[in-house]
Structure 1
Amino acid sequence: MMANLFSSFDPSTNIYSVNWISSLIIFLIMPPALWMIPSRYSFLWNTIISSIHKEFKILTKNSKGSTLMFTSIFSLILFNNFMGLFPYIFTSTSHMTMTLSIALPLWISFMLIGWINNTTHMLAHLVPQGTPPVLMPFMVCIESISNVIRPGTLAIRLSANMIAGHLLMTLLGNTGPILSLPLINFLIIVQIALLTLESAVSIIQSYVFSILSTLYFSEVN
């Protein structure tokens, strides 16, 4: 049993010294047939990416090339989330270092694009339509704060959801040595159910991160 429950998320306490290389491990284990020849894997992945692309294209108002960026972010987060479900592979998306490194540059670039190209549009966003004159100063403060904390909420949402499920699985797994045989069988069933749930969470969180980034981008256009 580990001394600290959070040590599984600490790169310095893992048995490997190159934990962050897990962000690229998907390219090492991915079968070359996925890229070289048409297959079931390529058909499935192309179907997923096409559906995501169509949805992002509507939200970005047909901005040229923008959907490529958001589908790439979706793929990166999805791969890293899934790789973290395998034993002895470091979950990079459970760290703010990884999630904030994606969210913060996106938000800064959106703000630069909006304030440089659409200054009037950005100022209009600070005061919602129909706001009474008395409440306008308060609405400007509230809208400004909600805008500033967006990269933090994006990063925290992703990392917190990835940590929560992994912690629960780790906590239940550590109780295995002290359980009887019938309870161990029940624990295995629960762990399989949690693993299935975590697989769904991995897909949902990558989609939520990318779709919110797309919505933030659409607001500055």
Structure 2
Amino acid sequence: MKIFCLVITFLFLVGIFANDYAKYNDLVGLTTAGIRYTYFQPMSVEGRPGANATVSKLEYLIEKMVDDVNNNYKYQEFRKICFLLAVPNEIEILLEVDEPPPRPIEKANQFLDIMLQQLEALLAGATREDVKNIRRAYVVWSLRSAITRRILGAPDDAPILPKCRLLALYLSTQSPLAYIEEVNIDPTGHTCIFKDRHHFEKRYSKIGGSWSEVDGNGQFRETLETQLQRIQPQVPPTS
């Protein structure tokens, strides 16, 4: 009897978990469709860094996420926005997010649900790999535009944490298998300090008037502007 009950419980849990993953796949598809739609929808932005510019609604949403350092819109935790924008296939990034529910797949669905409220449209006929790559392409080029305005073209006294979060998202899209899990800042050195999923660190700081990648001693490695020239995908989405 005990074995029978264990089997029934196991089958019940398998059914729940399968439903969770089915919902996750649906939400990834829906939010990807929304990302694709909002990428092509312009809007006027006022009262923000680089004000009075015309940006896409997707770019506006990304900025809203990285600016939410006080959790006004439920995006304070960097791992959450990295998952939503750069690595939606890597749900283990949510293991350390201190928000219920406890299981990463449930957190993934909860956060995708929140994002879905801000997006529209459906995406049909794409494989899961297509969805991941399409989603990332739209995000990448919006991030590039935001980085150009908010980091390369911003005054030095602009808040550094949103800048670092933009950079971390960009790095995660360019190396999704080594996505950034943690964003820290050194306010005295005006330096962004990133830790990826493999616990390797990257640092970015402004040297000689240019934002650049630096080593652990603050020595120059390569300018951010040069790295942006190698953006992947090289061509922005057109439809």
Which category of TM-score, normalised to the shorter sequence, fits these structures? under 0.3
**Could you say which structure has the higher strand fraction?**
2
Q: Report 1 or 2 for greater relative contact order, CA contacts < 8 Å, sequence distance ≥ 6.
A: 1
**Could you say which structure has the higher helix fraction?**
1
**TM value normalised by structure 1:** 0.25
**TM value normalised by structure 2:** 0.24
